[in-house]
Chains A and B, each alone.
Chain A
Amino acid sequence: MRVLVQPQRFDAAQLLQGFGAGAGAVVTFTGLVRGEDGLVALDIEHYPGMTEKALRAHAEAAAARFGLSDVLVVHRHGHLAVGEPIMMVATAARHRRAAFDAADFLMDWLKSRAPFWKREIGPEGPGDWVAARDDDEDALARW
């Protein structure tokens, strides 16, 4: 299991080298800063200490629940331009269903329970803080 919280870009290929060796299925998901009208970048704030602890606890919960042989969570913070990768999860399991479900589960949790806060940066500078979405909360209730 590996959990990384960092401002730097990550190299997905390098992180996935040897990941899930011996598993039958590896699923990866990467989230990017979505290009939207007037959006230049996102500033992502986090809670140092709690973030790492919460991510690790949840990665462990996903591993136990879905019988994963390995799990990786990388989440960036700081100033991220449109198109840059924000985060990645990777899950390894014997079969694809568990790997897909575990990645989905991790993503739903990250959206509304991981201590990160996004702020929109426009051409004129800092704009609004991104509001939490009800459908993200609903998605979490599925599990």
Chain B
Amino acid sequence: MTLEILYFAWLRERIGAPRESVETSAATVADLVAELVARDDRHAAALSDMRAIRVAVDQELSGLDSPLAGAREVAFFPPMTGG
């Protein structure tokens, strides 16, 4: 499947792009992270500490074990600082 991956705030800066399309067969968010980390040093560095990163699957907050079946968009970002 093709997933649209989005990055925000310092993750966007470390990856060097706000979004990218990836062809993947990852079953869960954790699988996808492992695939991205294996791609290159930038991804590996940006996604090195997943405790400091939040994930949304199709714009819903999700966890590392969330399934990706049928998903179209996965976003990675730091803890939110709204208000």
Contact = CB atoms under 8 A, between A and B. Distances in A.
Q: Do A and B bind each other?
A: yes
Interface of A: 31, 45, 47, 49-50, 53-54, 75, 86-87, 107, 110-119, 129-132, 136
Query: For the side of the interface on B, what is the size category?
Result: 10 to 19
Give the most central of A54, A110, A115, A129: most B CB within 10 Å. A115
B8 A45 contact: yes
B8 to A, nearest CB: 6
12 contacts: A45-B8, A45-B9, A47-B6, A47-B56, A49-B59, A117-B8, A117-B77, A117-B78, A118-B82, A129-B81, A131-B79, A132-B78
Contacts of B56: 47, 50, 115
Closest A-B pairs by Cβ, 6 of them: A132-B79, A116-B82, A114-B82, A117-B9, A50-B59, A111-B83
A25 B8 CA distance: 38
B61 interface: yes
Given A107-B83, A117-B8, A47 B59 contact: yes
Contacts of A115: 8, 56, 77, 80, 82
A113 B9 contact: no
Interface string B49-61: 0000000100101
A110 B9 contact: no
- Majority-rule SS of A interface residues: mixed
B75 interface: yes
A63 to B, nearest CB: 19
A75 B59 CA distance: 18
A53 B59 CA distance: 8
Contacts of B80: 111-117, 132
A118 B75 contact: no
Nearest to B79: A132
Nearest to B10: A129
Nearest to A75: B82
